[in-house]
Structure 1
Amino acid sequence: MNGTARQPLFLAAAIAFIALTLALSVSVGARPISLDDVWRVLWHPDGSEEAYIVTEMRAPRAALALLLGAALGVAGALIQALTRNPLADTGILGVGAGSSFAVVVGVAFFGVSAISQYLWFSFAGAILVTLLVYALGSAGSLGATPIRLTLVGVALGALLSGFTSAVVMLNPDVFDDLLRWNAGSLAGRGWSTLGAVWIPIALGLALSLAVGRPLNAIALGDDAASALGASVLRTRVVVIVAVTLLAGAAAAAAGPIGFVGLMVPHVVRWFTGPDQRWIIPFSALGAALLLLASDVVGRVVLAPKELEVGIVTAFLGAPVLIALARRKNVSAL
């Protein structure tokens, strides 16, 4: 089955699974609530405990999982297209580590305590690391090759992760409330968190949809892209801004969540082929489903306790990364 024929199948399956997982997300947890009761309290809130759990705890958490999943999936697809590296994502290129380090510095030295404040530090860390990785990876006569960008990103990410751990260890009392965030968590996130991040994520997604065609041209090489009328510099700037908005907002809201942006674009390319105009929106759908499902699994596997969503995606992502590394031909960009 070719990519064009698979696209409607992927779209229908993604929507169906998102609807099913969304229903599970608002009904399962430490206190199970039947779907009949969920439907009742959504349409007729009665002030009961069930109504509070559904409308103020699980519904915003599910909505946030969908939004952050879309952000991470699209950010991963953009980075893979920009670097022409099928194994790139915001974690491998150090963007997540940069966001985490900036937030930790904000908490330790500037008294940052709210998600709305995390946001600006997370953005700053994301954009600085993205620019630094690209600058270091493109230095010299060879330019920004995929291997060089990946090596620089991994090295810089490891360095910043070490600094982050050192700051946390030197200020253990300050970071008691940040432990869940650092593991990648959606627990305790309400409508206020969603309100703080939806605008930058929406803007990042809009920018991402606008660069699908020029990214297709860049996949042919910079010279070929210029000959086809694509502005390579402008496209790279837009991609960097979009990735910063998406990855920065996601890290601010839930902490570092790895592997989502690596796994999903690969699966999507099996269904869509290498056309970025399809890969980007379908990565948003697939990653939203993955993060929402991971959150549900985290609530069920150790019930009544919870496993943070970042840990669940790591358990899923590590074997996927190994499988991708063993493939002779990873999905084409």
Structure 2
Amino acid sequence: MSPVLHNRILKIAGIPAALLLLVIALLASINFGVADTDWRSIIEAYSQFNGTNEHLIIQQVRVPRALIAGAVGLSLGICGALIQALTRNPLADVGIMGLNSGASLLVVAAVTFLSITSLSEYVWFAFLGAALSGVAVYALGSIGRDGLTPVKITLAGAAIGALASSFTHTILIANEKTMQEVLFWLAGSVEGRKLELLAQVFPYMAVAWVGAYLIAGPVHTLLLGDDVATGLGQRTVLVKLATGLLIVVLAGSSVAVAGPILFVSLVTPHLARSLVGPETRWVVVYSGLIGAVLLIAADIASRFIAMPREIPIGVMTALIGTPFFIYAARKGTFKK
């Protein structure tokens, strides 16, 4: 058996293993928490529901937050793989692209000026804010004769993110009531989220997951440089535009449901490349699966560190991601 074929078989075999790990993480998220439950109660909550607190907690709290954490982690992982490949920047994530900041700004503005109070209403304002930020970053990064470049889009993302953050903090300082209402959302959390929230954005997530896999091949060609990609017959502008749209959908839908969660989209592509190498299509698949498991694990840990209170999941991912960010920054390389 050739080394190439052997390597490909290992990559394929790793997907069922990753899916099994994801299922275990989901079951652990449903079972473990402040309230005591057991495996029999999980089954009975759906097969013999009797309205007890235990069954209600499983159906209305544990299962929704497990599924939301998995879907958001999967989206952020895939989003990170696309962002780092598109910008050719190993430190790029949804934060550096300004998507989190744009979503946060529009939610804070909606709460302040439109008196929005429902999480289900936050969803669409967060989605729109991330989309507007993505469009602004893409447009700003495309200015000039050389068009869109990794350096320009990274600088554009940093600029738009800083601008949106400054406006957000200005509104929060001027309105204490707004700060109290959105502070927990701004920290990033899946606690208290309902499946209805996920249902609103899941179709967009699912389409973007498939789209990301399909476009991963052309995006990988872009790593060779625009001139080489064009010489191979690729429409580089169209690929970049489509990839940017997928990034906006993945990041926007994730922020809309769970708030701005940092570092997941930074860490997971690095872990995926260490397992399957630099090919973008494999990195997209594994980065998504790793992101789902990572966010579910972070959510489980957030329940026990400060029991009986919970730490926002965004704080947990920051504790994981900050040391990794320092390591990646010191290493300063992007394997191609």
Structure 2: stretches of 5+ with no match in the other structure: none
Bigger shift: residues 195-204 or 46-55? 195-204
The two structures have a TM-score, normalised by structure 1, of 0.93
2:266 is aligned, of 256, 262, 265, to 262
Report 1:100-119 matches (<5 A).
Answer: 100-119=104-123
Number of aligned pairs? 332
1:76 is aligned, of 75, 80, 104, to 80
1:157 is aligned, of 140, 146, 161, to 161
Structure 1 CA distance for aligned equivalents of residues 32 and 50 of structure 2:
20
Report 1:207-286 matches (<5 A).
Answer: 207-286=211-290
- C-alpha distance after superposition, 1:43-76 (max 9, x if no partner): 3222111100001110011001111111111111
Match in the other structure for 1:307: 311
Amino acid of the residue matched to residue 223 of structure 1? D
Match in the other structure for 2:188: 184
Structure 2 CA distance for aligned equivalents of residues 218 and 320 of structure 1:
26
Question: Residue 253 of structure 1: CA displacement?
Answer: 0.8
Match in the other structure for 1:91: 95
Question: Residue 38 of structure 1 contacts residue 54 of structure 1 at CA under 8 Å; is this kept in 2?
Answer: yes
Structure 2 CA distance for aligned equivalents of residues 141 and 323 of structure 1:
35
- C-alpha distance after superposition, 1:248-282 (max 9, x if no partner): 11111111000001100111011222222211122
* CA gap 1:172/1:6 in 2 versus in 1, 3 angstroms: farther
Amino acid of the residue matched to residue 90 of structure 1? V
Structure 2 CA distance for aligned equivalents of residues 242 and 118 of structure 1:
21
The two structures, once aligned, show a CA RMSD in angstroms of 2.0
Amino acid of the residue matched to residue 220 of structure 1? L
Amino acid of the residue matched to residue 34 of structure 2? A
Question: Residue 8 of structure 1: CA displacement?
Answer: 4.0
The two structures have a TM-score, normalised by structure 2, of 0.92
Q: Match of 2:177, SS?
A: coil
Q: Match of 2:132, SS?
A: helix
Question: Residue 86 of structure 2 contacts residue 150 of structure 2 at CA under 8 Å; is this kept in 1?
Answer: no
- The answer to whether residue 176 in structure 2 is matched with residue 172 in structure 1 is yes
Question: Residue 115 of structure 1 contacts residue 196 of structure 1 at CA under 8 Å; is this kept in 2?
Answer: no
Question: Residue 28 of structure 1 contacts residue 300 of structure 1 at CA under 8 Å; is this kept in 2?
Answer: no
Question: Residue 71 of structure 1 contacts residue 201 of structure 1 at CA under 8 Å; is this kept in 2?
Answer: yes
Amino acid of the residue matched to residue 91 of structure 1? G
Q: Match of 1:173, SS?
A: helix
Structure 2 CA distance for aligned equivalents of residues 118 and 241 of structure 1:
21
1:194 is aligned, of 194, 198, 202, to 198
Match in the other structure for 2:11: 7
Structure 1 CA distance for aligned equivalents of residues 164 and 256 of structure 2:
16
Match in the other structure for 2:296: 292
- C-alpha distance after superposition, 1:222-271 (max 9, x if no partner): 12212222221221121121111111111111110000011001110112
Q: Match of 2:176, SS?
A: coil
Match in the other structure for 1:134: 138
Q: Match of 2:311, SS?
A: coil
Question: Residue 95 of structure 1 contacts residue 247 of structure 1 at CA under 8 Å; is this kept in 2?
Answer: yes
Question: Residue 119 of structure 1: CA displacement?
Answer: 2.9
Question: Residue 29 of structure 1 contacts residue 303 of structure 1 at CA under 8 Å; is this kept in 2?
Answer: no
- C-alpha distance after superposition, 1:204-239 (max 9, x if no partner): 212212211111221111122122222212211211
Structure 1 CA distance for aligned equivalents of residues 208 and 263 of structure 2:
19
- C-alpha distance after superposition, 1:143-176 (max 9, x if no partner): 5443333233223312211211111222221342
Amino acid of the residue matched to residue 228 of structure 2? A
- The answer to whether residue 31 in structure 2 is matched with residue 27 in structure 1 is yes
Structure 1 CA distance for aligned equivalents of residues 89 and 242 of structure 2:
18
- C-alpha distance after superposition, 1:278-321 (max 9, x if no partner): 11122111101111110001011111110100110011000001
**Percent of aligned positions with the same letter in both sequences?**
37
* CA gap 1:165/1:91 in 2 versus in 1, 3 angstroms: same
Structure 1 CA distance for aligned equivalents of residues 310 and 194 of structure 2:
17
Match in the other structure for 1:53: 57
